[in-house]
Amino acid sequence: MLFISIQELEAAINYWRSQSPASGEELHLCSEAAALAKPYALMIVQGAQRVPMDVLDESAKSAIQNYLKTL
Domain range annotation of the chain:
3-69
Q: 10 Å Cβ neighbour count for 39?
A: 21
Check residue 28 and give its pLDDT. 86
Spatial CA neighbour of 67 closest among 36, 23, 21: 36
Check residue 27 and give its pLDDT. 78
Check residue 26 and give its pLDDT. 74
| pLDDT one digit per residue (tens) for the chain, 71 residues | 799 999 999 999 999 999 998 877 777 899 999 999 999 999 999 999 999 999 999 999 999 999 999 99
pTM for the whole structure: 0.89
